[in-house]
Structure 1
């Protein structure tokens, strides 16, 4: 069951990006009714910022793997960005020690994928079978080290809205929530490759690289040398 929102959640925050009224956004706490939009953004950005379909044709279970633990067990740690009443980005947070919830949901989704693979659902999409193989045999070994006793965050923004500092504003709301709850640091994971090194500009916002490992997750769809990087930040 999803955790309940605290009484008196932080008020919504509005801002105008790049000085244009057409880029007016609102950051507000995540609601249960946002789940479908969050899942869709996850699938629209799940393959190196692009739609996940080339990597995994089963969007339902891909979203279950990536965002369902937060939606089900940490609803009151998340925020969304809206423009014209449409969700265009999200930040899903979680308290320290959240791995058990992630494992529980991921195991259920992986078993469903195995069952669907056994009945031939992915016969015409070998990349999905490769993705499932990666989940079973390589995913654990290709995760970077993470700081202990730290909160966690995962965020995504739709492609048309990137470059308007939505990620920064979502981080700031999340950091305010962490301070209110007495948590001193948090981490997230991101993908980095030649020509796309997000960890570099993130340093100006105080996020540092904690660990980095090579990943084979995207080998079926590209030939880039991709790293999975854990970034972290101390806020108090």
Structure 2
């Protein structure tokens, strides 16, 4: 299906950095703003986007609607490089978060407690040496058919660099990005684990799901 005339999918550029960070925070609470759960938008955006925007920007794409960035796909085909970056990045963010801890509200402190106590238990298995990605699109842009276009462009980019497979880790629940949706995009679910921090904030179980797609098969 063709994109509307006012929708454009293109490679990420440095000028998109602020928009990507804002969008990350604006959709961080199950598609809604993260602020009621975690108030420090700077740390939240650093954790989820800074590697992709600052270290490997060539592997990402954005969705523009009426001249504004309303979606992104952040990818990496250098997993070892990213894992090494994350070791130092996470240590830096931990120190900053602890320095600011006394200023945070109770909801943010509860979020931090979950990170320290449970988050590492709730990460599903994922291939350590495979290209990967994640994406976010604002609710008003989800009906513009841009997500599949971004994914297809990213998969073509990976093929051009000799990658044979890709995985994504996505927040899923039955009314949003369920396993059947991933399968329609040609993915196979590898593992999913419930994210317990959402149990009292969402009416249905919420999972972090790892799904893998083989790239050597031609797109239909």
Q: TM-score if structure 1 supplies the norm length?
A: 0.84
Confirm or deny that 1:136 pairs with 2:116: yes
Report how far residue 217 of structure 1 moved. 2.8
Match of 2:149 in 1: 169
- Aligned counterparts of 1:212 and 1:89: Cα–Cα separation in 2: 24
Contact 1:189 1:229 in 2 (8 A): yes
Report how far residue 69 of structure 1 moved. 1.6
Confirm or deny that 1:62 pairs with 2:19: no
Confirm or deny that 1:157 pairs with 2:144: no
Match of 1:106 in 2: 90
Larger mean CA deviation between 186-195 and 153-162 belongs to 186-195
Confirm or deny that 1:127 pairs with 2:127: no
Report how far residue 135 of structure 1 moved. 2.0
Confirm or deny that 1:34 pairs with 2:34: no
Report how far residue 154 of structure 1 moved. 1.2
Gaps of 5+ in 2: none
**Once the two structures are superposed, what CA deviation does each residue of 1:121-175 show, in whole Å capped at 9, x if it has no partner?**
11xx211111111222222111000024210101100110012222111100100
Q: Considering only aligned residues, what root-mean-square deviation do their CA atoms show, in Å?
A: 1.7
Match of 2:55 in 1: 73
Report how far residue 107 of structure 1 moved. 2.5
Residue 200 to residue 182, structure 1, CA distance change in 2 (3 Å): same
Report how far residue 223 of structure 1 moved. 5.3
Within a 5 Å distance, the mapping from 1:1-236 to structure 2 comes to 15-17=2-4, 21=5, 24-95=6-77, 96-97=79-80, 98-117=82-101, 120-122=102-104, 125-219=105-199, 221-222=201-202, 224-236=204-216
- Aligned counterparts of 1:131 and 1:219: Cα–Cα separation in 2: 13
Aligned residue pairs, count: 213
Larger mean CA deviation between 94-103 and 224-233 belongs to 94-103
Match of 1:4 in 2: none
- Aligned counterparts of 2:108 and 2:44: Cα–Cα separation in 1: 10
Report how far residue 176 of structure 1 moved. 0.8
**Once the two structures are superposed, what CA deviation does each residue of 1:102-137 show, in whole Å capped at 9, x if it has no partner?**
3322332222111100xx211xx2111111112222
Question: Where in structure 1 do 4 or more consecutive aligned residues deviate above 3 Å?
Answer: 194-197, 219-224
Contact 1:193 1:227 in 2 (8 A): yes
